[in-house]
Structure 1
Amino acid sequence: MPMKKGYKALVDEAMAQVKTYSVEQARAKLGDPNVQFVDVRDVRELEREGIVPGAFSAPRGMIEFWVDPDSPYFKPVFGEKKEFIFFCAAGWRSALTTKTVQDMGLENVAHIEGGFGAWKAAGAPVGVKESKGQH
């Protein structure tokens, strides 16, 4: 059965409606106290591939619940007056995430073109995600 609207169409629509930063533009904001990087990748991806230092981990499957102040799962970081820069592995999930939180009313949001893969390839800072068994 063909999809009425496939993932490519959803990603394209999101890309047309959200702010997108190049790795260079995003990297220039790393360490800015008014900016919060948000990693929407799964924890296994973080452990396997690495992390952006200082990024808040918010798995894609929980984002709507973590962003909404009325949710019992709300994370206070999303109530801060900062710019939120979302990223995933390749930029697809983060485009969808950025559009979703923008539609929900979170302001000053963007995502990174090419995601963590492009970030890493550009030689931008990468840290190691400690697994739960390590201290």
Structure 2
Amino acid sequence: MSLTVKEMMEAANAAVERIDMARAVEVLGQGGLLLDVRDGAELQKTGRAAGAHHISRGMLEFHADDELQSHDPELRKDRPIILYCAAGGRAALAGKLLKDMGYAQVYNLGGFKDWVEGGGDVAGS
């Protein structure tokens, strides 16, 4: 059975809780990881949320699998992860992927603009 992007987005949004900036700050204060899943060119253009870790959406699976040499130690299944991208779509899809891989506490902040409009600091550009 093939899926449409609309169906994949519906499943991702149903599986991954969308949170606001206040909740994100709370989760980060408890040791959560803020993860930017945008492409490198986007980060160069706009910078990233201060303190955010970066793994592009296209490489996430390879960095999230703790059985691979490419595993990123910042990604731990017992650590809350807050994702953002440009508008929230890739963050939702990335969040569902992480949940499918056994990460329990995964949240979607939405887009980089949500971080900025919520008063979050920006690093680099």
TM normalised by structure 1 equals 0.82
Secondary structure at the aligned position of 1:78 is classed as: coil
How far apart are the structure 1 equivalents of 2:14 and 2:77? 26
Which residue is equivalent to 2:63? 66
Whether the 8 Å contact between 2:19 and 2:107 is mirrored in structure 1 is yes
Runs of 5+ consecutive residues of structure 2 not aligned to the other structure: none
Instruction: Report which of the two has the higher share of strand.
Output: 2
Aligned residues: 124
Q: What stretches of structure 1 of length at least 5 have no aligned partner? A: 130-135
Q: How does 1:1-135 map to 2 (within 5 A)?
A: 4-30=2-28, 32=29, 34-79=31-76, 81-113=78-110, 115-129=111-125
CA distance in structure 2 between the partners assigned to 1:68 and 1:45 by the alignment: 25
Q: Where has structure 1 moved over 4 Å in runs of 4 or more? A: none
RMSD: 1.8
Bigger Cα Rg? 1
CA distance in 1, matches of 2:114, 2:4: 24
Between the aligned residues of both structures, percent identity stands at: 32
